[in-house]
Every structure is written in structure tokens, then in C-alpha cells.
Structure 1
């Protein structure tokens, strides 16, 4: 689990299914991030006596929930993704990588962050094992969209995306169902629409619509 960190503390299994969240630069105050980091450390200490893998999942689940709440309610940071031309750039980059780097399951572009669900595709050409395939995919996607979104916004010399992102390996079908539902219903939960299908900047692959 990578959370609020630039270093890579874990492997990202090739061919796994992933839930990704990344956000705009400065979309959360530094003090809020520091509070969440400290709370995460305290929770890890609290859960350290139990099953290590299960404990890590529970801690990250609880902190991610608070992280998401902060993103939704924070109206002081940038919300460039609510502008259709900007969101379309991100949508195009996400779809461009479908069936090349991953099999795209679902996404939702919110005003200041993006949720993305996919299955990583392993290369047919035999190559050296890559421990961090998702990190490379996100780096490429962010680099491209940052450049073109900044051009569209007439911004220069400023970061568009926050460096840190959240990636989670999906373990089973039930978890996949919950995550796709969560992803698609984020704008409903936030009060933007009554039905997720009314949100312009979301997508769900046809075979997963029953999960939503």
C-alpha cells in the first residue's frame, strides 16, 4: 500500500487489479496531511499486535476514508477538474492506456481528485520483472495530463498533480464490487448528482455495471 509517500515500500504485483486515487497539487492543506500521517502512525502502533497484513489494510482503509472526506469538503484548493475541457484531457489519457497498459474497469473524475480501477496488463514481450508497474503508469499519465492541462489553463511552471497517490491491490470479487460502487458513487455521495450515470466524467466497463 502506497499512501502519502513518494518512496515505494511495497511491490505492485504484475497482472493485479488496482484501485488508484490521485489528486491535484495543493488540494489539501499541509497541516491536514500531517495530521493524517500522525494518525496513521498511531493506528499502526495500536494494531501492531495483530495480523500484520490485516492490520495494515484496516489502518489504510480508515485513513483513506478521512483523506477522501477532506478532499470532498475542502473548497480552498484548486478544482480544475470540474471544468469539462480539463476533465476531457484526463479522460482521454486514461482511455488511451486501456488495453495497452491496463484493462480499464472504471473511473470517476471529481473536481480535485481522480479514482481509477483497472487490471494491470503484463507485457507479452518477455522483459525484466518490474516491481512498480503502477507507479510507472501513473507517472506517464500524470506527466502527459499535467502538461496539456497546464497549457489549457495558461499555467506555466506549476505542478498540476500532487506527487503522492494511493494504490491498493484488490484481493477478491467482493472487494472489486465495493470499490467500483465506491468509485462511481463518489459524486452522488458528494451531492453533485442523484444518479452516478448523470455524472459526465465517469466510466464503467459494461460487464461491471451490475456491480455498481
Structure 2
């Protein structure tokens, strides 16, 4: 495989931003970046309320933000919570809301080139797909500390380059990506298939997305 799967017995780094980000040296991580306009603000506000209500129904205090409160759930409930709300996010992203400028293959190539630039040096890049308003990828980092730093580098560099080509300025990406440490070889293969099939699921035609499949050397 691209790297190793999550090992709960090994050292784990948890970075705190708006929500926790888990990182582990050499472990494969599934990452989603989305453009700033890909999900309307009213939808995000509704999801925040739904998450709070979902947790309160399970007797989790409403004065704790959901990103912290979810840690108080049992492992089974935590998995159910993640599956439910992650599915909602992915289904909405596949509706291709927003300007969807990454449908332009020149701009998609800016992102692809950035993802591959330090492949084999700072990280090992696996499968990825660049959709009109979001990106899915699998990657493994040599150290837990380097993961968030590289996320920030990708987002900053590609935003500057894309804005320059569009003659625009301002925020391009949602600042905090979604990331998930891969738990098993089966989940790794499932995510590879998910990335491959995402354009078909979103009913995209050839030339409206950029797909790269990892082949072990």
C-alpha cells in the first residue's frame, strides 16, 4: 500500500483548529479540500444546528461545540455521527455548487502539479481526483508534524496561482480541510474506489475532472 494504516498503539498527534486533526507518522490519510463557495453558508449553519440537536438527543451538553462534544460519544455513536454528516457533505459537493472553476483543466492542473511536486520527498502521494469544486486525495507523510504544514502549503500556493490566472483575489479554498486516518486495508481500497468513482457519481463528463491513480513503483 501507499503507507501504513492507523495504529492506536503508536504515537498520535492531534492538532486543534476548528476541530481536531489526527496525524500519525507514515499513516495513510484521506483528505478533502473544497472551494470556499462549494457549500452555501445557510447550509453550513443548518448543519451546525443539526449536529447540536443530534448530540443533545444523546444527552451531550449543548454548551459544548459539536467538534468537542463528539469526543464524549461511544466509539459506535461517533462512527455513526461521522458517517451521517460526512455523507451529507459529500452528496452536496457532488452537486457542483459554486463557480466550479476547477472544471477548467488548466486550473485543475495547477492543483495536480502542486500535489505531485514534492511526491517522494515530503510525502507519498496516492490516488487523487480534482472535481469542479473539491479535491479528494490519499497521502502518507513521513512525520505527523508535516501533515498540517503541507496542507497549508498546498492551499496557499494553489489559491495564489489560480487567483492570478483568473484575475481575481481573496479566499479560494475553505481554510480547514477534512482529513481521516485510514483504519484498515479494506478501508484503503474502499477510498481508492470512492476517488475513482466520484466523477461518475457526480455525472461529470470526460474533461471536467482530473484523476490520478497511484501505482506502486
In the alignment, which residue of structure 2 is the partner of 1:205?
214
TM-score, normalised via structure 2 length: 0.78
Q: Which runs of 5+ in 2 are unaligned?
A: 1-15, 61-71
Find out whether 1:18 has 2:40 as its counterpart. no
Structure-2 residue corresponding to 1:188 = 200
> Residue 176 in 1 paired to residue 188 in 2?
yes
CA contact (8 A) 2:34 2:174 kept: yes
Alpha-carbon contact 2:129-2:195 (below 8 Å) kept: yes
Match of 2:76 among 38, 54, 64: 54
1:200 deviation in Å? 5.3
The aligned counterpart of 1:99 is 120
Change (3 A) 1:62 1:20: same
Deviation at 1:11, TM superposition (A): 3.4
Quote how far apart the aligned CAs of 1:175 are: 0.5
Q: 1:72 to 1:200 in 2, by over 3 A?
A: closer
Q: CA deviation at 1:141?
A: 0.5
Unaligned runs of 5+ in 1: 123-128
Aligned residues: 191
Partner of 1:110: 131
2:152 matched residue in structure 1 = 139
CA RMSD of aligned residues (A): 2.5
Verify the 8 A CA contact 1:40 1:60 in the aligned structure 2: no
Partner secondary structure for residue 7 of structure 1 = coil
**Equivalent position SS for 2:135:** strand
User: What is the deviation of 1:27?
Assistant: 1.5
Distance in 1 between residues matched to 2:126 and 2:116, nearest whole Å: 10
Alpha-carbon deviations, 1:147-179, whole Å to 9, x = none?
1111011112x1111112210010110000111
TM-score for both structures, normalised by structure 1: 0.80
Is the partner of 1:206 in helix, strand or coil?
Answer: coil
Of the three residues 38, 43, 57, the one matched with 1:32 is 43
Q: Distance in 1 between matches of 2:138 and 2:88?
A: 20
Cα deviation digits, residues 57-90 of structure 1 (max 9, x gap): 3211211111111122253x12110001110000
